[in-house]
Every structure is written in C-alpha cells, then in structure tokens.
Amino acid sequence: MKPVDMTVTHDPENGVRGDCFRCCIASLLELPAQAVPHVMDYDWTVSEPGPGQWFKTLNDWLQQFDLTYLEFEFKPEQQWNWKAFDTSFNCYHTLSGQSPRAPHTVVAHNGEMVHDPHPNRAGLIGPNTDTGLYNYGFIIAQCKRVSKLTLLAVQREWTGPFPKITIV
C-alpha cells in the first residue's frame, strides 16, 4: 500500500464530489490518483445512477488487472474476526463511514485506519449516517468460482449475522 492523497475535496454546494474513494483504490494498487477512474464523480442532482453503477464502473476498470472489488457492510457492534482464517492475516482494504465533514473512505489494515486521503487526516467518526453501517471493501484476484464450502467456512467464523456481500 502506497498512500495517495485526495486531489479533489468534497464541495457539495458547488456540485463537486471528493475523490477519497478513488485515492484509496489508488493507494491499494499503488497507482497515482489520476490513473484510477473517479467513479463517484457524476451529477447526483440530474440523475441517480442505478443501484451498484459505480461498482460496475470500478469492476469494469479493474478487469484489466484481473481484479475485482467486493464490499461488505457491518453494523458498528459487529467486528470482523481478522485472525479467524490465519494468524498471519495481513490485509489492506477500504473502510467507509462518516467523517466530520461527510461520508468518507479511508484505507485500513486489518480493520484499523492507516491512511486518510483527506488533507486534514481526521479519519472516520462513525458509521455512514444514512445506513448506520460501515463498509469494508476488498480488491481481490478474480476467481472463476467461489465454492459454497468456502462461504460456509467464512460464515462459521462470523460472530454476528452474515454480512451483505455485493458482487457485481
């Protein structure tokens, strides 16, 4: 992971959406921000994209690297058991929630924030205010098939209700 800072700060009064998510993806892939599409940059006042449209746009772009983005939603009282699968588990991922300013995305390592791409580095103060959930996002190598046995093994290690998995 190579930290990349925001190039566009959020300014909703002027119709500008910050590029924190893009910079987190760039950080995970160790690319400059400009090399990653700003999938959140569309005019929300004119048209709302279909559900998951930004997932599709991001995953279409990630295909060139044979990668896929997956996102899991968690309630604040739930905790991912990072050591459930391997005691040497070592994973960087996105973590989305509420910043002091607006909804925001940071880079985390095993569930703990390690890089806030915003210039003030304030991080997250809680879950997304609209859903009450945190979103953990992972970039993984594309696989042709995920076995039911693997998903059941993951579910057995989970201490709460199984999280929603969005795969596009």
Q: For the chain, give me the number of helices (H) and strands (E)?
A: 3, 6
Q: Where are the domains of the chain?
A: 12-166
Written as one letter, the residue type at 71 is E
Looking up tokens 């005691």, which residue turns up? Answer: 87
What's the pLDDT at 1?
Answer: 93
Burial per residue of 125-143, b for 16 or more beta-carbon CB atoms within 10 angstroms, e otherwise: eebbeeeebbbbbebeeee
What global pTM score does this model have?
0.79
Is pLDDT larger for residue 161 or for residue 110?
110
Tens digit of each residue's pLDDT (9 = 90 or more) over 23-75? 999 999 999 999 999 988 765 555 555 556 788 889 899 989 888 898 888 88
